[in-house]
């Protein structure tokens, strides 16, 4: 893939003020970035989305939301609807993060419904898949990921699938207690995802859906993932919450892209 996707999910971090400071600093320091080669995105919490939209108005950085309900509106206290996100003007909706599955019982059927709605609203669904520690321990990672894909992609047509981004995020690799996957292992799973997409759609479609890796990515290991042919980008949590740290990763990758 000729483009690298680099994005961050802020989870439940950053107030509106902190969002403004972060994005101003980010925008100020991207002058030499080749946006034809690097696609950046940030995924703040809901309360910061409006401010973030304003800060990113003239920038090449895409804006995402961390979740969304599949219904347009209704009696769903505490939920956020696609209409609300559409009004703000988000580009991406992250769906199925492992923390949503783990703490809020979100399942693959929910994620499938959300993906369909997101496509109807012209958002880019960023679908997260990945096995948990138990599946890895018992050697059933591939089965678990295929099951996730089969349900999440149910009734998603080829033309729709082309608009998606997929993040492979092994649960055991995420967060402070996580261990980053070995790049060769991550690539093996990316190849599995590609072959599922090829089986379901076709070779071209499968090749054109960006597959990004997430799970304890940092400045030291970022490039090791990106030198793998089937890894099209990185989804970064805590190593990107400090803007300087995110900028260091972005500039390192930009330099690599310029010289490769
Ligand atoms: C995540 O939670 O999606 C993630 C990638 O987090 P971290 O980089 O902190 O492991």
Nearest alpha-carbon partner for 170 in 194, 200, 190: 190
Confidence at residue 174, expressed as pLDDT on a 0 to 100 scale: 98
- State the catalytic residue, choosing from 55, 94, 97, 99: 97
E strands present in the chain:
4-9, 38-43, 62-65, 92-95, 124-129, 165-168, 211-214, 233-236
Joined tokens for residue 221: 């290991």
Please give the Cα distance from 223 to 240 (Å, whole number): 15
Please give the Cα distance from 39 to 4 (Å, whole number): 6
The number of angstroms, rounded, from the C-alpha of 137 to the middle of its chain's C-alpha atoms is 25
Give 104's contacts (C-beta < 8 A, 6+ positions apart): none
**What spacing in Å lies between the alpha carbon of 169 and ligand 1's midpoint?**
8
Cβ count within 10 A of residue 165: 24
214 Cβ closer than 6 Å to some ligand 1 atom: yes
178 Cβ closer than 6 Å to some ligand 1 atom: yes
**Taking the domains of the chain in order of start, what are their residue ranges?**
4-258
Please give the Cα distance from 184 to 192 (Å, whole number): 13
- State the catalytic residue, choosing from 55, 99, 131, 169: 169
Residue among 6, 236, 241 to mutate when testing ligand 1 (max atoms within 8 A of CB): 236
> What CATH number was assigned to the domain covering residues 4-258?
3.20.20.70
- DSSP element (H, E) containing 83: helix 82-88
What Å distances lie between residue 34 and 39, 61, 214, 225, CA to CA?
A: 9, 12, 22, 20
* 215 close to 190: Cβ distance less than 8 angstroms: no
**Blockwise average pLDDT, block size 10, the chain, 260 residues:** 94 98 98 94 98 96 98 98 98 98 97 98 98 97 98 97 98 96 98 98 97 98 96 98 98 84
- pLDDT tens for each residue of 140-184: 999 999 999 999 999 999 999 999 999 999 999 999 999 999 999
The answer to whether residue 97 is catalytic is yes
pTM of the shown model: 0.97
Three-class SS state of 67: coil
* 213 close to 178: Cβ distance less than 8 angstroms: no
The number of angstroms, rounded, from the C-alpha of 205 to the middle of its chain's C-alpha atoms is 19
Cβ count within 10 A of residue 39: 19
Confidence at residue 257, expressed as pLDDT on a 0 to 100 scale: 74
Three-class SS state of 177: coil
Confidence at residue 253, expressed as pLDDT on a 0 to 100 scale: 95
Confidence at residue 193, expressed as pLDDT on a 0 to 100 scale: 98
- pLDDT tens for each residue of 197-215: 999 999 999 999 999 999 9
């Amino acid at each position: 893939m000729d483009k690298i996707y680099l994005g961050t999910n802020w989870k439940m971090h950053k107030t509106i003020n902190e969002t403004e400071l972060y994005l101003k600093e980010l925008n100020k320091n991207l002058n030499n970035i080749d946006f034809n080669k690097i696609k950046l995105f940030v995924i703040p919490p809901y309360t910061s989305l409006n401010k973030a939209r304003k800060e990113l108005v003239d920038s090449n950085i895409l804006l995402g939301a961390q979740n969304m309900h599949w219904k347009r509106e209704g009696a769903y206290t505490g939920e956020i609807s696609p209409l609300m996100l559409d009004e703000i003007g988000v580009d991406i909706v992250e769906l199925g993060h492992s923390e949503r599955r783990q703490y809020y019982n979100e399942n693959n059927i929910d994620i499938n419904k959300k993906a369909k709605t997101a496509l109807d609203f012209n958002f880019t669904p960023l679908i997260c898949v990945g096995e948990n520690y138990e599946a890895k321990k018992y050697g059933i990672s591939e089965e678990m990921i295929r099951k996730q894909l089969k349900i999440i992609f149910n009734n998603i047509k080829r033309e729709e699938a082309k608009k998606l981004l997929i993040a492979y995020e092994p649960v055991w690799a995420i967060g402070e207690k996580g261990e980053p996957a070995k790049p060769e292992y991550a690539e093996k799973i990316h190849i599995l995802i590609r072959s599922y997409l090829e089986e379901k759609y076709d070779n071209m479609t499968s090749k054109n859906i960006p597959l990004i890796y997430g799970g304890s990515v940092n400045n030291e290991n970022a490039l090791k993932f990106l030198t793998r042919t089937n890894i099209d980008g990185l989804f970064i949590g805590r190593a990107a919450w400090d803007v300087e740290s995110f900028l260091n990763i972005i500039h390192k990758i930009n330099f690599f892209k310029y010289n490769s």
